[in-house]
Structure 1
Amino acid sequence: MQKILVVNPFGIGDVLFTTPVLRSLKQKYPQSFIAYLCNSRSALVLKNNPFVDQIFFYSRGDFKIIKKKSNFKYLVQVFKAIIVLKKMKFDFVIDLSLVTQYSFIFWLIGIKKRYGFNYRNRGFFLTDKIDLSGFTDKHVVEYYRQLMFKAGIDKFRKHLDFFLNTEDLAWQQEFLQKNQINNNGLIVGIAPFGGISWGQNAENKQWPLERFAGVINRVIDKYNARVIIFGVKADLKAAKDLQNMIKTGKIISAVGCTDLRQLGALIKCLNLLISNDSGPMHIACALDIKIAAVYGPVDEKVYGPIGNPDNYAVITKDLACRPCYKNFRTKDCRTKKCLMQISEDNVFDAIERLL
């Protein structure tokens, strides 16, 4: 039996982009044991995934939090993680971390085959690697397909996976009933926040709230839709401001009251999600929900929705300075022209085409 480790320590969308890798590995090695190493915030993305047998919550971000509290506890946790991974005796690893630290540890614990990307010459400890200057000319999932081919795997389906269980769907029905939302009517979701992985620069990915409000008012007027707002606890104040801009009581807030599983369950019941470039948007993509996605500094050809093109519309502005997010860095932009020049009409026209 092959024992395989897959590593991606990044955000929700990044982990979702790896789900075709998991599917292709399991198809190639149906009797294999596949473990996944990710950060604790993204782990729920993989819950119920039949192509993952075990999940480890180790990432540099998680360890940094521990280190801030105690250097001793940090060293203990790192040592424990190394011991646990060594005992697993993996045959090979798909290392998507793009940094040296992970592949060094995998070399140290004796994983013989170590596949990954040689980004900025950080792939010294990888045995099989693809040189990478950045994700630039094609979708991230296509880069992963290329790496899978290098690992001897030629069957690869370009579709994201997010698996819901009966508990998730039961919570969904309870939420809908509590808020008197009828499954037979049109249900539209909005994810006007997002960008947590960008930290203090998250607002650089966010279309103005007042324009979201303007679009939602028009959607309610034309389609008599019920609307659900998505976000995390840190978005509660902004969500309240948004609700005050909506002229009807047809809007329900799920901000700060869902985990990733419950978020996915609510997204599953939508007819459409209107979103910034965000984790909820990629979950909707995995669940085959129609999406109107507003993209600013990030290149939608690299990080955008994938799958059936009839299911999504990406709204952008063609500017000389866009996209400015390149090689995992974004410019310090004060004007946000790429977002500010997207009008309510641009987004509403896309919504009408989808509905």
Structure 2
Amino acid sequence: MKKILVIQNKRIGDVLLASLIAENIKLVYPESTIEFMVYDYTAGVIENHPLIDKIILIKEKELKKIPNLIKTALQIRKAKYDIILDPYAKFQSRIMCLLSGAPQRIGYKKKDKNPPLKFYTHNVSFLKEKSHPCGKSLEDRVHLVTSVYPIDQPVYVPKIYLTETEQQYSKLQSYDKPVIMFGILGSTPQKSMPYKYITELIDFVTVTFDVYALFNYSPHQKDDAKSIYEACKHKDRIIFDIYEDNIRGFITLMNKCKLLIANEGGTVHIAKALDKPTFTIFSPYVLKEHWASFEDGKMHTSVHLLDEKPDLFSTDRDARKKIEEDPSFLYNQLSPELIIPKLNNFLKQHF
């Protein structure tokens, strides 16, 4: 029986997508035990996963300290894994793979084609382009497995597994209209729209459709969320007093909502894994082809500035200078006037 470790020390969405590694490696070794090493604040997206036998929690700041990194690597070595897969492929995870002693170590090939240290026994190249509707980021993770272990029918759709108690979540029961989850703020400033634009979108939805809007945001963004709420015209259509401050709580809440409208990020991947319709607003600084998964124009669709104003990404020197001098320049070009027609069409298909 194989003992397998997946090291995915990155953000919430990355951990959820990496769960596909468990789905696919289990097709190769059905009797294997699979463990995931993840940052403690990301574990909620893989809790209760039937194919993940153990979740090893680590703290991001602590792992960046060299003594702690070496200690963790030696603990991995002591555990005697047969296979380690590293979809993270950064300094910390590469060191852990190198010192693990695992007979098979699978990770992505980096730009240094001939590194002085042999971190992996199998160096896998990133795909040059996507060939599956799941999007390139998901396809790359599946490819990490299938490039070493041929699989006839790989799994491309990540899932979140709810307990019976979580499925009975009842905080929205008293509301007599469908609830739309709004991911009003991105995980970083470069993934967040200008607040006045967010307010316009919320006003449009609450006026045009017979629904309630429910805000999602990180706990440290509460003051920003409150200012957006205060700027909205139809507060009676906004649910502001229901909030979950952890990933698992958000998952159970999202499961009871009709759909999600959000900046691109982990919440979008969570909604898709729950089989909820999504409308994604991409940061102009994010490659849509990498992260736009399963888009069909109905269940999942998105908007990206490159689709609406491709000339802004030209070689024009003045435009380039503005982009370099002001990181918010491109986001300011993605105005509600560009988003609302696509959003309206999307919502009409679901209401």
Shorter-chain TM-score: which interval? 0.7 to 0.9
The Cα shift of 1:304 comes to: 2.3
Partner of 2:318: none
Could you tell me the percent identity over the aligned residues?
A: 21
Q: 1:305 aligns with which of 293, 301, 308?
A: 293
Partner of 1:150: 147
The Cα shift of 1:240 comes to: 0.6
Report the TM-score when normalising by structure 2: 0.84
Is 1:92 aligned to residue 83 of structure 2? yes
Let me know the Cα RMSD of the aligned residues: 2.5
CA-to-partner distance for each residue in 1:2-48, whole Å, 9 max, x for gaps? 11111111101111221222111122222110001111111111101
- Residue 176 of structure 1 aligns to a residue whose secondary structure is coil
Q: How does 1:237-276 map onto structure 2 within 5 Å?
A: 237-248=223-234, 249-253=236-240, 257-276=244-263
Report the TM-score when normalising by structure 1: 0.83
Is 1:290 aligned to residue 277 of structure 2? yes
Partner of 1:339: 331
CA-to-partner distance for each residue in 1:251-304, whole Å, 9 max, x for gaps? 113686321011111111222211111211111121121111111210111022
Is 1:20 aligned to residue 6 of structure 2? no
The Cα shift of 1:167 comes to: 3.0
Partner of 2:120: 126
- Residue 172 of structure 2 aligns to a residue whose secondary structure is helix
Contact 2:28–2:149 (Cα < 8 Å) also in 1: no
**2:331 & 2:197 partners in 1: Cα distance?**
11
Q: How does 1:1-355 map onto structure 2 within 5 Å?
A: 1-58=1-58, 61-64=61-64, 67=65, 75=67, 77-78=68-69, 80-121=71-112, 124-132=118-126, 137-138=129-130, 139-154=136-151, 155-170=153-168, 172-173=169-170, 175-177=171-173, 180-182=174-176, 185-195=177-187, 202-248=188-234, 249-253=236-240, 257-295=244-282, 296-306=284-294, 310-318=298-306, 319=310, 322=313, 334-355=326-347
The Cα shift of 1:307 comes to: 6.2
Give the letter aligned to residue 89 of structure 1: K
Q: Structure 2 stretches of 5 or more lacking a match?
A: 131-135, 315-322
- Residue 216 of structure 1 aligns to a residue whose secondary structure is helix
Give the letter aligned to residue 157 of structure 2: H
Contact 2:69–2:96 (Cα < 8 Å) also in 1: no
**2:313 & 2:89 partners in 1: Cα distance?**
24
The Cα shift of 1:60 comes to: 5.0
**1:159 & 1:307 partners in 2: Cα distance?**
13
- Residue 13 of structure 1 aligns to a residue whose secondary structure is helix
Q: Structure 1 stretches of 5 or more lacking a match?
A: 68-73, 196-201, 324-330
- Residue 161 of structure 1 aligns to a residue whose secondary structure is coil
1:8/1:313 CA distance change after superposition, 3 Å: same
**2:227 & 2:193 partners in 1: Cα distance?**
15
- Residue 326 of structure 2 aligns to a residue whose secondary structure is coil
1:245/1:101 CA distance change after superposition, 3 Å: closer
Give the letter aligned to residue 103 of structure 2: K
The Cα shift of 1:125 comes to: 1.6
**2:108 & 2:240 partners in 1: Cα distance?**
41
